[in-house]
Structures are given as structure tokens and as C-alpha cells.
Copies of this chain bind each other. A is one copy, B any other.
Amino acid sequence: MSKYAIGLDYGTNSCRSLLINLDNGDELGSVVFPYPSGELGILTDPSDPNIARQNPQDYLDGLEAIVCGAIKQAKEKDTTFDPSDVIGIGVDTTGSTPLPVDEEGTPLGLKPEFKDNLNAMVWLWKDHTSHQEAANITATAEKMRPSYLAKCGGIYSSEWWWSKIWRCLNVDPEVFAAAHSWVEHCDWIPAVLTGTTQPDQISRSVCAAGHKAMFNDEWNGLPDKEFLTQLDPALADLRDRLYDKAVSSNQKAGGLTSEWADKLGLPEGIAVAVGAFDAHMGAVGAGVKEGTLVKILGTSTCDITVAPNDKTLANIPGLCGVANESVLPGHYGIEAGQSAVGDIFLWFVNNLVPDSYGKTVGEKFENMEVELAKQKPGETGLLALDWNNGNRTILVDVRLTGLLLGQTLHTQAHEIYRALIEATAFGALTIIKRMEEHGVQVREVVNTGGLSLKNETLMQIYADVIGLPMKVASSEQTCAMGAALFGAVASGTVTLEEVQQASCKMQERVYTPHPENQKTYAKIYQLYRELHDAFGTTEWQGKIDHVMKDLIDLRQQARTGK
């Protein structure tokens, strides 16, 4: 008799379910529910483009729709499937995406008195209204508590927990006062499913806490009151109503309530795992383990790996997160990322590619890829920096911009596209090098996300630049897959290793580095790194007049073979 698990993946614009067979990872059902509120599920305000909120009711409506839908599909696909064999549910969400709740754990945004107040709604990760608060937290921590910053790459972000909550205090004291506590989206869904929404009963995800709320056992949990008082005494007061314990997703948040069991058509009491952020569960769903880096290749990237937690791992400068058990039990979770990858390609195709390559965005990409696949490393003579949206890792600096050099009067769009792909590969290599400098080994890369499935030339360039085998996860829903696996593990009947082994499959095609290409790219990477350091760091000082000339020489070599 097979057992099953369900993963729930709450994204920025929609939520999605995945129902898998734990024997083999077969995907029996998957349903998407676009959030009905706002623009594509995001509540905005024309007066401030930084505002991005969500309606908690959308999450609840989606929950029922996607679980029931997946069960229905599974029954149709496999007549032996029985919902009573589902042993657990796991949940991942975007983050940091906190919501204010009252003493009962009811989101303020669901209460009639606040239903029209955006500040009472869920503060979505991409809400950037709190950039000033983030800067102040960084400045204060630099002075008082540099250790806090060391865990998050040196700069606290407006995308994170404390920035958003402090922002709410600053702009809407009434909402802040009405909030007995704040809860991460990824903690609230399991709380709902297990009937434990009262703030002091909610299991708090170590993944969400460790990265974004500056929670660490080294300093007894959340930032201390002296520090928070320095920001605002009201935040220090709030600390008492938050949490002092955070747990990993192999733990059970609780059992499914009878009410939800009825609604969803699932057995009462089955395990609901502690939640986590989407990228972390995506890494697990893609098979992350020691030596394996998972790259989630999308509009931006999230790069995740793990290291054993049997010894203290030094802080890794420039990485936006090292947190114990945030990804796998018994391991440090290590998180990095590039601020824009697919977004750079989309910007380029939307703004700078003429219609001679095709009428639609899809055609343009396709035809450019045909052309650029014919070129050798170095042949374009171009070199780009992948900073159109700043640099998240390893420079942690939003005040950086793109750069392209080497263009002549003959440079064509597909050559620039190739240079942009290479730039993102160089950026990816820079992250891996930084991990390795600090003792985190990377022996292979597992890629997931749209680009890894669609763009073979890109994957080969990545292999040649990074110099490691590039695998691609079979599942197109690795986040939901990871959530399902944690659901299963939380049942206590299987280990994470077992279910990962059974379910995390790779595509047959592995992209292996081509030695000649690797050699050329090693030279170009030196040039990339010089530009990276020259434009991106305050330490660099030197000469760069050789860069254009070296690229001309490499172009000549690629064209003539000498």
C-alpha cells in the first residue's frame, strides 16, 4: 500500500498543491489557485509603488480549492489512490511575509474594523516601503550588534520581518497597537490547519526566524530588548509577545483538525509539518544535500546548500543567510542568490531585441538561442555585469547597475544575450567560490525553475563557466515537492533521506563542462571578477586598461583558433 503526502506552495500571485506518491515521487495531482484580490493577488496603492500587501482570505479560499482539486485529480489518475493514505501535509510560502494578528490569532485584515486598511493586511516580501527602517536597523546593528548582521550578509533588508513591523509602527500606530503579535505566512497556514492560531501556540519556523527575524541561539533567539529599544521601545515590548523557540520543518506543527479534515476530505489528525520559505523547501524538493547546491533559476535566483552542523560554521561574508536547520535537520542551511537572472533576459528581450528575431518574446528568445549556440566562449568579445537589479550575493548592494563592454559596430542582439547569460553564470560562480572559501564544498549543482528546463544553451554555458556538472530536477514543482516531503517526515513514519531518495529525481541529461570552454571561461571570469571588484567594492584599487584588450585577444582566438 502506497502512502501519499501533500505539499502546499504559496507563491506571490497564486498558491499551488502537489500530491505525491511517497514510493516514487509520482505527481498525482496539482492545482493552481490565483489569488482573487488586488492585481494578480497583490494589494497595491497608487500613491506608493513600494506597497505590496495580500489578503489573508485569499490564502484560506485557495487552501480548500487546491487540496480538494489535487485529491480529485489523484483519484482520476490512479484508481488505487485513497485519501486516507495521505500521511502528511507540508507548507511553504514566500517570505518574509508577516501578518498582524490579535490575541486569538485572527489576522487583523480579516476583522471588519480593519478590512479596508492595507497596513492590517499581510505585508508581502516584495513590499519595499520599509527601506528606511531597514537602513536604520543595519546602522544600529553595525554599532551595537555586528554579530546580527554577520548572519545575513552584512545588510538588513526591507524585505524582512523587523523592517516591515517597524514600518507599520511608524506609519500606522493604531494597527501596530491592535496587533497582539505578528506571524509569518508560512507559520500561519499550518496554525490554521492544526487549530493553533493563538500566537503562543504557533510553531515558528526556524527557516523564517533564522534568516529574516535575526533569530539565533547564539544570542538566545530574537534580537535582545536593548537593541530593539534602540530602534523603538514598542518593538522591545512586542518581543515578549513573539516567540523564543523556532523549529525545523521535519517537526510536526500539529494534527489536522476535524473541521479541515472534513473540508479537505483527508483523515483527521494527520501530520501538518512546520512551514518554511519556498526556496528552502524547493531545495529539499530538488534533493539538496551536502555537496549539492540547488539553484532555483527564475526571474532572480535562490542558491541553497547545506553544511553539517557538528562544528561551528564561520559566518560567510556577503551571503544573506546561514541558519541552523533552516533547510535540513542536522545541517546549517546556507542561502544566497542573484537579484536578477531571468529578469535581465526579459528586460533585454522586451526592450532591445528587434523584430528581425521574431514577433513574440518567445520567438525572439528561441531564435537568439539558435544563433548564440553557434558561438564559442570569447567569440562575442563582450563582457557584462549582471547587476541590472543590484547584487544580492556577494556584494549585498542594491545601488549597483548593469554594465556591458566590448561592443563594436558589428555586435548583434544575440551576442549581447549570450554575454548576459555568461554574466549571470559568472555571478553564480562568484557565489560558489565564496561558499568554498568558507569551507562549504560544492560538488554538483541541481537546477530547478523555468530557465533550467527551457534553455539548454544556458545550462551548458553554466556548466562551462562554473566547471561543475549541472543537473536539472525532474519535478517542475520542487517547492511543493519539498513541502510534501516534510509533510511525510512530520508524520514520524519516514526519514527525510528516505523520501528524498525516492522522490527527488533528476532529468537524464546532465550538462558536463567542456574542458576547452572551461579554460576560456576561466580567463574571462578573471576579467569579470576584476570589473566586479572594481565597480562593486570599496577595497579595490588598480588598473583595468587591459580588460578591453584581453577580450579582443580572446575574441581573435575564438575566431581563428590562435
Which residues of A are in contact with B by a Cβ distance under 8 Å?
A: 340, 343-344, 347, 350-355, 381, 385, 387-389, 399-413, 416, 534-538, 540-545, 547-549, 551-552
Contacts and interface: CB of A to CB of B under 8 A. Distances in A.
Given A535-B547, A541-B541, A543-B540, A407 B401 contact: yes
Contact of A545 (B343, B536, B549): B536
- Describe A's contact surface by its main secondary structure: mixed
B352 A552 contact: no
A347 B408 CA distance: 9
Identify the 3 closest CB pairs spanning chains A and B, nearest first. A402-B407, A403-B405, A355-B355
Contacts of A381: 401
27 contacts: A350-B354, A352-B352, A352-B353, A385-B405, A387-B548, A388-B407, A389-B408, A399-B548, A399-B549, A400-B548, A401-B405, A401-B406, A401-B408, A401-B548, A401-B551, A402-B411, A403-B407, A405-B535, A534-B544, A535-B544, A536-B545, A537-B545, A538-B543, A538-B545, A540-B543, A541-B541, A544-B544
Residue from A347, A407, A411 with most neighbouring chain B CB atoms (10 Å): A407
A65 to B, nearest CB: 33
Given A353-B354, A403-B407, 18 more contacts: A343-B409, A344-B409, A347-B410, A347-B411, A351-B413, A354-B354, A354-B355, A388-B407, A389-B408, A399-B548, A401-B405, A401-B548, A401-B551, A402-B406, A403-B404, A404-B405, A535-B547, A540-B545
In the complex, the count of this chain's copies comes to 2
B401 A552 contact: yes
Nearest to A411: B351
Residue from A340, A343, A542, A545 with most neighbouring chain B CB atoms (10 Å): A545
A393 to B, nearest CB: 17
Nearest to A403: B405
A548 B531 CA distance: 12
A329 to B, nearest CB: 38
Given A343-B409, A402-B408, A403-B405, A542 B541 contact: yes
Contact of A416 (B352, B537, B538, B548): B352
A399 B350 CA distance: 31
A175 to B, nearest CB: 28
Nearest to A416: B352
A540 B352 CA distance: 33
